[in-house]
Amino acid sequence: MAPSSTRFLILLAAASLLASFARADLQYDFYNTSCPGVETLVRDALNATFAADSTIRSGLLRFHFHDCFVRGCDASIMLQSHNGTAEKDANPNLTLRGYEVIEAIKAKVEAACPLVVSCADIMAMAARDAVYFSEGPDYQVETGRRDGNVSMMEEALSDLPPADGNVTVLTKFFAVKNLTMKDLVVLSGAHTLGVSHCPSFSHRVYNYTGVGDEDPSMEAEYGQSLNATCGGLDNVATVVPLDAVTTEKFDLGYYQSVYAGKGLLQSDDALRHDSLTGAYVGVMNNASSLDTFFADFIVSMINMGRIGARTGTDGEIRETCGIYVD
């Protein structure tokens, strides 16, 4: 073999080794030697936070979703923009909650292990702990993500699924993130926690097709109660539970609501009108399916947590999550 091609092969081997290092996968317990006990530290801090405000749990679960769907799970949702054009400034983000919670935990983590643990991993742990402390399943999160430092409003507007989307539309938004229809119907189950502001669904009550009509798919009494609560299309101050059965408990209440025509968002109700996702909603309407939902949810959360993950030497570990960029 000629020396030049040997050199080439060695270079090739070195390059692919380097590439596989840079691509290093997420793993369980990534910080076990670099910051031992960090997951307990985060969980204990959240336990105290939730004792003071139990409603912030749903905010943290949604926060991780909005982070992952835009530029991957890289905490770019937390970046501040001098000129107001960051992800966080996009319309769907205006109701995101939990910035201060993540920042406070990050400060505690920095005190224990400076510049080791990413904001993106803390967000993933916080979403997991929010579910756990809502009587949902406990699971191990994958860690080893690093933070991004680019944040663009347009990407949040183009990559987050629309609240008035049908299953065809929603499936496309999930597919570009490597998530399946199963992930869609399972992760929508996160709406077993938390609330929505009236403008996210009020068109269903007051102006469904633009002629002052109501969405005929909505259960009649439910529509009346939404009308009474919101009192009009543009009430930005009032919130309504996404799962009216058990708003703060992670359970099957969401699927029971959707099954009964009491899904709050159009994207929730849409799930029962597609044969595949509708079948899942039907199964989850049965109380004996709780364990199946928990197991499915863990799998789909791990899938979502892998979107666009930066690992190895890609990205950075920041001291503060919400630094200014641009």
Ligand X SMILES: *[C@@H]1O[C@H](CO)[C@@H](O)[C@H](O)[C@H]1NC(C)=O
Strand segments (E) across 93-247: 142-143, 195-197, 239-241
Among 41, 75, 109, 190, binds ligand HEM (CB under 6 A): 190
Smallest separation (angstroms) from ligand HEM to the CB of 293: 13
From ligand HEM, ligand X, none, interface partner of 193 (C-beta below 5 to 8 A by class)? ligand HEM
> What does the alpha-carbon distance between residue 234 and residue 13 come to, in Å, rounded to a whole number?
61
Which two structure tokens, joined as six digits, stand for 29? Answer: 């317990």
Q: Binding to ligand HEM by residue 258, rule CB under 6 A?
A: no
From ligand HEM, ligand X, none, interface partner of 277 (C-beta below 5 to 8 A by class)? none
Helix/strand/coil for 243: coil
Using CB positions, name the residue nearest to ligand HEM. 194
> What does the alpha-carbon distance between residue 61 and residue 123 come to, in Å, rounded to a whole number?
9
Instruction: Find all residues with CB under 8 Å of 33, minimum gap 6, and list them.
Output: none
Which two structure tokens, joined as six digits, stand for 126? Answer: 């916080």
Which two structure tokens, joined as six digits, stand for 20? Answer: 């596989």
Q: Select the span of 72-80, 113-121, 139-147, 186-194 touching ligand HEM (CB under 6 A).
A: 186-194
Return the CA Rg of the chain: 21
To the query of whether residue 66 is one of the catalytic residues in this protein, the response is yes
Among 76, 200, 257, 277, binds ligand HEM (CB under 6 A): 200
Smallest separation (angstroms) from ligand HEM to the CB of 167: 9
> What does the alpha-carbon distance between residue 214 and residue 38 come to, in Å, rounded to a whole number?
49
**Other Cβ atoms within 10 Å of 224 Cβ, number:** 13
> What does the alpha-carbon distance between residue 70 and residue 157 come to, in Å, rounded to a whole number?
9
Smallest separation (angstroms) from ligand HEM to the CB of 254: 10
> What does the alpha-carbon distance between residue 109 and residue 115 come to, in Å, rounded to a whole number?
9
Q: Binding to ligand HEM by residue 272, rule CB under 6 A?
A: no
> What does the alpha-carbon distance between residue 149 and residue 71 come to, in Å, rounded to a whole number?
10
Select which of 64, 66, 191, 203 is catalytic: 66
Buried b (16+ CB within 10 A) or exposed e, 139-170: bebbbbbbbbeebbbebbeebbbebbbebeeb
Give the interface with ligand X as residue ranges (CB under 6 A). Answer: 27, 29-30, 32-33, 44, 47, 51, 83-85, 88-89, 93-94, 96, 99, 149, 166, 168-169, 177-178, 205, 207, 210, 214, 224, 227, 233, 286, 288, 307-308, 315-316, 325-326
Q: Select the span of 72-80, 138-146, 190-198, 275-283 touching ligand HEM (CB under 6 A).
A: 190-198
Q: Select the span of 149-157, 188-196, 220-228, 280-288 touching ligand HEM (CB under 6 A).
A: 188-196
Q: Binding to ligand HEM by residue 247, rule CB under 6 A?
A: no
> What does the alpha-carbon distance between residue 259 and residue 277 come to, in Å, rounded to a whole number?
11
Which two structure tokens, joined as six digits, stand for 67? Answer: 């982070």
Residues numbered 41 to 70 that lie near ligand HEM (CB under 6 A) are: 58-59, 61-62, 65
Which two structure tokens, joined as six digits, stand for 55? Answer: 């409603």
Among 80, 85, 95, 229, binds ligand HEM (CB under 6 A): 95
Smallest separation (angstroms) from ligand X to the CB of 27: 5
Site residues for ligand HEM per CB under 6 A:
58-59, 61-62, 65, 95, 97, 161, 163, 170, 184, 187-188, 190-191, 193-197, 200, 242, 265, 267
Active site residues: 66
